[in-house]
Structure 1
């Protein structure tokens, strides 16, 4: 464990609250890293581009410890080829113990490793078929009756609409790249499709409490953990919507966040689960309070009236996702809500050095009904920025070389374009709170594949092992 046992022992020894502050070297060498996948993949299609089948083989380099290795390997079965109607799939994945860094959950958790090879191969397949990469994807994305990797019917079918929205922007970008390419700077455009589920596999559950205060305000007691993603605003936005019949203003809704002596267990903030699972628990608790306070004439009881009638002043909201675990073949209904993203990257490649610069990123996102646009904008910008680092510079193989921020390839601000466009397609989710799905993992599911595909479109160099260091691209240019 990265810190839980250490801070727990320290708290027991001192009898006081404690925290653990790593140096950067300790942070790099002691905490887990994303587990690399080594993947062999091939697809079959008709001459007009209809996918017929896919064969997969993936090995998960999980380092010395087994924690979550089985679940991460399952992600390969769930997400290699995700987004497409593939009627026949045969594959095998395995978790492998190695002397590399131990594998830990990190944003996207299995999707960036799984969707990178299938999204790059879709471009290679399009080239062999003489088809446009966007049109090949459009022909095969989920529609009613499609066969998904898990065998689960998607909860919404918004991918055709998302590609229709991107198509004119893509055509403009391709023309712009052709117009602005020179002998020294080659420009290209790449696209990719990303899919990720919201929740922990199977019947994921959460609990949130809501209480009425003497002054008529409401307090939400929630352990929706906050890594900086805005759990307070997710909680407030969901609660405000659920309490709308009472005409409360946001300042009349108080939050007690992540105090385990006062708030119930909401589960981990991971797997893009919180807005869906903890959001639904928030909704349930608020609706229970509203129902208890409502009089037969449609007005609402006061705090004093609730006390006089001996009605509860605090309500426990519990919610469990209508889902089930996948079997050993990766078949099942693991998530009730998914997130869908279509990414477009515009890059410039210096012929003399092989250095790639991302000039623009466009994301078409369907994360359901948006709770708070400012927060989800930040989530998507942040995830796409991480995808650029994953594509071009980040690595952790050599402890001496890679244990500083610069050595590990952390992207500089100049490496991330200011020009990052987001287009939302708000398709309400039947099982999400007020139609919302999650957002956190989707932005890092596949943007790196769009960058790599753009490099090929720019200069004809296909990178199959990340990151696309300048020397790799230059070696490809030299043939």
Structure 2
């Protein structure tokens, strides 16, 4: 141990530390300054940034023994507080630069260091600074962040009043459709919002720290587990194995369709008989410190019989492949699609046909905050589990039977979380911390390292697609045929639903009267398939949108023209046989055309022998909901202090549940004159909040938004006085009026039948992407110069939220197109290795044009969702732009430089 005396935020600190500890650990665990976050833990993400003696450093890799007497450290807490915000923090709030907010303190500290040395940076210099210093954001697409820095810099230079960074309520008092800041924005910008690891530091002293014993192979039989040596290690309280789990020791995959050949009980909480993928949890070491737990985990001996590992759908489908789950075939679900007349004769007689194969791969979510959670027993005997769950009620029922706990004896809580983008639609650690707490009777805390986070949590499931179009000589689509295989990893949860998404979204956006398709869900030994933003549509639309350009080329038509000819109009139906609820495509395409024509001329003018410019289009479409009659519930409660709390389980993984709830409630409560500052929201807790359903499929603004609207409408009816004002709490109680109002809402959807026909969503999102790219023919590097999205998401609740969602989704689409991959488990297990897009990888020029004259009948105040739309097909527009630029059709993503060079050399890529 060593003594260190230094200054933190202007205050002298005197601490006794382990010299090998990082500065981040000392700041967080010994000094309680949890505004400094630890994300990747390897210096790749910048969430741990602090300023040391005027220089920006990454405190997660800076050893405390390097601190010298009198050094000065500045953390986010030293830049500003909720009571006295720095202009940077005010700007972050104003421009919506904090979405999930986990990376925000690191960015603000980094921006402070930049402006201290360069008070008048250009936008390009700001982006360069963040890029070089590895400040990573997965939510925003960086544009709101750069906006915030530029505005704050103006204030600090005296060129703009600080008051211009503050929100002003419009004269009419209405916030719907405006830029009201998120209720959590100030806490995120000041580092005062506690995420999972921060809450872990506030647990009782008796809390056990957990370390997992995990598989380092992808497929094996377990012959024995020996914990005896580990149990003797210092500080170990217990080593938990499958023998300690009292229930089924399985997480139910909630099989969606009866034709699924699996039973849904295929994922073990702790492996007992087999290992199914790399990283599978075999045992949990519970100890007094994390270090002791990790040391003991190394001593657990697992005797394995290694089996062949099937790391792709084609490998698992081979005739000689073993059944990964004995008794269940590796192809365990088949999704058929039949619409209109038989397609065979149509293809035989059609004037033009095209056919091609495509692959969209295993995109990693790459959240900045790794997975984290904890559990404890409450005083009344309830097992309470806190995590990053985005489906609190859903997960409760998925893990309770496996743990052997009745549903009324377990509760799940969604912590403030640093993004999930869908991976937390699946339980990841909930059952593990629950099993450890049940086995030890102690509070238990578990935080994955970034390697564990990348290797053990789910990924986007790859699609192997063959697709065909038939058209007449004028380019009107006559038929489509699809044949595709979904590599869903070893666990079946939601795999059938994902395969259905292929049937719903291949060819979406176009009126295709006759369709035949077959999709298969395949069990493999690669990373399990979990939800990822735009679940199923990126794989589907990449295939159908690139093939649409191939059809246009074969017909000698312009890509814009063929889309305009075939897009949805009255009388058209989507692949599910459902007539769209609105017809916005023609207007969006017409509005896009002058931009498209200008982009083509610009590309032609600016192309050189080395730098080839190109443009590409793609239609975008996604449904809002979970298929069929989806439901939600929310409450509006008048409090004794005359504020109103909107009680729901609308989980917020960065997309803006706080603003979604407040914006919708305020609009519904406007007749009562309740100002937005009097509205409160809740963090989901299954023991205290109603079942609002999971935050996935862009369903919450529609479903829970409507439930909130209904609850608030009931409150208006119940508490409105004759003069139009609202009763106070005291008046309501005196008048015998209820102060709690329940809102329930169910959409009238119809689940798809065995032929894929139905009305799965009553609200959709529609869009058209335009990508402008440069291809360096010497290096193969593709740069996205500009992205444009014509977006129909119905009426907009809040512009800061929807702009941010679209910027961030497009950024993830650029990553999917050009760099992101998780095929090689070891190589792709870091942010850099997996191709994370940093600031300069994303264009500073992203244009969003909203079309709000298509209000949704079943959306609250006409709103649809937004989250899935921006990642449905930007990568397809980029793929088409690459071909337009240099003639390389990328069939298998990502389009990394070596692939472009191979394509330029004549290879099929």
Matched, 1:456 2:883: yes
CA shift at 1:256, angstroms? 2.4
Matched, 1:88 2:514: yes
Distance, in Å, in 1 between the alignment partners of 2:868 and 2:471 is 30
CA shift at 1:297, angstroms? 6.4
Match of 2:630 in 1: 204
User: Aligned match of 1:182 in 608, 617, 623?
Assistant: 608
RMSD over aligned Cα atoms: 1.4
Match of 2:748 in 1: 322
Mapping 1:34-433, distance limit 5 Å = 34-295=460-721, 298=724, 300-426=726-852, 427-433=854-860
CA shift at 1:15, angstroms? 5.6
**Structure-2 change in CA distance of 1:234 and 1:357 (3 Å):** same
Distance, in Å, in 1 between the alignment partners of 2:725 and 2:896 is 65
CA shift at 1:211, angstroms? 0.9
Distance, in Å, in 2 between the alignment partners of 1:285 and 1:10 is 39
Matched, 1:435 2:862: yes
User: Aligned match of 1:2 in 391, 412, 428?
Assistant: 428
Match of 2:95 in 1: none
**Structure-2 change in CA distance of 1:18 and 1:336 (3 Å):** farther
* Contact kept? 2:672, 2:720, Cα under 8 Å: no
Runs of 5+ consecutive residues of structure 1 not aligned to the other structure: none
Distance, in Å, in 2 between the alignment partners of 1:420 and 1:17 is 46
CA shift at 1:192, angstroms? 0.3
Distance, in Å, in 1 between the alignment partners of 2:429 and 2:532 is 16
- Secondary structure at the aligned position of 1:304 is classed as helix
* Contact kept? 2:817, 2:893, Cα under 8 Å: yes
CA shift at 1:11, angstroms? 4.1
Distance, in Å, in 1 between the alignment partners of 2:573 and 2:645 is 45
Distance, in Å, in 1 between the alignment partners of 2:428 and 2:776 is 40
CA shift at 1:14, angstroms? 5.9
Distance, in Å, in 2 between the alignment partners of 1:121 and 1:410 is 28
Match of 2:105 in 1: none
Q: Deviations over 1:230-287 (max 9, x none)?
A: 1101100000000000011101112223243432121111111111101011111111
CA shift at 1:217, angstroms? 2.4
Distance, in Å, in 2 between the alignment partners of 1:30 and 1:307 is 52
Which deviates more, 1-10 or 431-440?
1-10
TM-score where L is the length of structure 2 = 0.52
**Structure-2 change in CA distance of 1:16 and 1:308 (3 Å):** farther
Which deviates more, 208-217 or 10-19?
10-19
Q: Deviations over 1:357-389 (max 9, x none)?
A: 111111111111000000111100000000001
Distance, in Å, in 1 between the alignment partners of 2:556 and 2:889 is 17
Q: Deviations over 1:272-305 (max 9, x none)?
A: 1111101011111111111111346655433333
Distance, in Å, in 1 between the alignment partners of 2:521 and 2:682 is 40
CA shift at 1:353, angstroms? 1.4
* Contact kept? 2:672, 2:724, Cα under 8 Å: no
- Secondary structure at the aligned position of 1:20 is classed as strand
Distance, in Å, in 1 between the alignment partners of 2:649 and 2:444 is 19
Higher relative contact order (CA 8 A, sep 6+): 1
Q: Deviations over 1:430-459 (max 9, x none)?
A: 100000000011100000000010000000
TM-score where L is the length of structure 1 = 0.97
Q: Deviations over 1:50-88 (max 9, x none)?
A: 100001101001111111110000001100000100010
Distance, in Å, in 1 between the alignment partners of 2:459 and 2:728 is 52
Mapping 1:22-33, distance limit 5 Å = 22-33=448-459
- Secondary structure at the aligned position of 2:446 is classed as coil
Which deviates more, 56-65 or 251-260?
251-260
Higher helix share: 1
Aligned length: 479
Distance, in Å, in 2 between the alignment partners of 1:406 and 1:297 is 62
- Secondary structure at the aligned position of 1:399 is classed as coil
* Contact kept? 2:632, 2:744, Cα under 8 Å: yes
